[in-house]
Amino acid sequence: MPMCSVVLLTLLLQKLRLNKAPGPDFISVEHLLYIDESLYVFSSVLFNMYIVPGFVPSSCLNTTVPICKNKNGNMTDTSNYRPVAVATVVSKILEQFILSTSISPFLGTTYNQFDFKSGLVPINVDFC
């Protein structure tokens, strides 16, 4: 099983885009990117504690969904919000780790993905 090292964690942090909205924990990429290098050791240990047992706390998986379109508009109108999920930086780094290493053989294969796939035609299902 691949482990998260300090060097790999540094590389993963540098891949993330800067000046983005923080997630529900109010931690932005810049917070982790500019911390003291000695804290990278503790951060890599934290990620290894997620990877080895395969358990990520639900607080790391929380997202904030409603994003206001027009801050000068009616803030109580639901059409003034768009559904964008802003994830925590910890979950973004963990996702980058999974995608950048050979950890994929250890993951189960699932075909229950609900994302957009180019060239596929949606199937209409009648539940009546």
pLDDT in tens, 37-85: 888 888 888 888 888 887 888 888 888 777 788 889 888 888 888 877 8
Q: Which pLDDT tens digit goes with each residue over 97-123? A: 877 776 656 655 555 444 555 554 444
Structure confidence at residue 121 (pLDDT)? 47
pTM higher than the cut 0.85:
no
pLDDT category at 127 given cuts 50, 70, 90 is very low
pLDDT at 124 over 50: no
State the DSSP string of 32-57.
Answer: HHTS-THHHHHHHHHHHHHHTTT---
61 vs 55: CA distance, rounded Å:
11
* Closest to 88 in 3D by CA, of 98, 80, 96, 77: 96
